[in-house]
Amino acid sequence: MRTLIVGNGGDADAGLVGHRLAEHGSTFERAAREYPREWPSLGGVDVVVLLGSDWSVYWDSNALEVAAEADLVRTARGRGVPIFGICFGAQLISHALGGFVERAPRHEIGWYDVGQIADNEVLAGPWMQWHYDRFTAPQGMSTLAMNDVGVQAMYGGRTLATQFHPEVTPAIVQRWATVGARELDAVGIDPKHLCEITTEKVVERGDATARLVDWFLEKAAS
């Protein structure tokens, strides 16, 4: 299995999601979303993972890059290549398929329940969040989880999109908290406390990410 990981330069760590894909035998190629002309071909790619970003889909400053990634989503879906989109990646999928992305009524930074719907117990429990935007589920995508902020997970056409971050490790959140210390201070969040909670939660919840990746691969193969 060959996985293409799309993320911003310097922040393209697929964390626990990548670890589980590796346990399924995947090898990895990486594409910096800032440089779409340098992306490898989709030929031979079995899975695409779209990571989070400090961008917003609707910013004018990255409109060309967003358009290129949206085209990648549509091309991959047209070829039947499974896609796993996380946070910005999920919002990008919504945008690419005709959904709507906007500023959320409030931010979610920390560990939150995501309001799984029906019997999707694979989504149960708290997940790490770090976002200010929200998205709608476009035609052809079914909402799997939703809370009072917005859609938290959707699936359709071999594509899974999660507003939350199942990939996080303590090292990933430590990096985000270091780079975003002023951002966290502005919203009243203690970076040290966030990192401490994350270390505890990853120990408790690490298997949850493995189950989610397994579920995604099983659904994509069916």
- For 66-123, write each residue's pLDDT tens digit: 999 999 999 999 999 999 999 999 999 999 999 999 999 999 999 999 988 877 789 9
Per the CATH hierarchy, to which homologous superfamily does domain 2-168+206-221 belong?
Answer: Class I glutamine amidotransferase (GATase) domain (3.40.50.880)
The terminus-to-terminus CA distance of the chain in angstroms comes to 16
pLDDT of 162 higher than 90: yes
In this prediction, residue 116 carries a pLDDT of 82
* Domain spans in the chain, listed from the N-terminal domain onward: 2-168+206-221
78, exposed or middle or buried, with CB in 10 Å at 0-12, 13-18, 19+?
exposed
pLDDT of 32 higher than 80: yes
Q: Which residues are catalytic?
A: 87, 165, 167
Measured distance CA(55)–CA(53) in Å, rounded: 5
In this prediction, residue 206 carries a pLDDT of 80
Give me the mean pLDDT over the 171-195 stretch.
96
Residues in a beta bridge with 215: none
Using an 8 Å Cβ cutoff, are 84 and 121 in contact? no
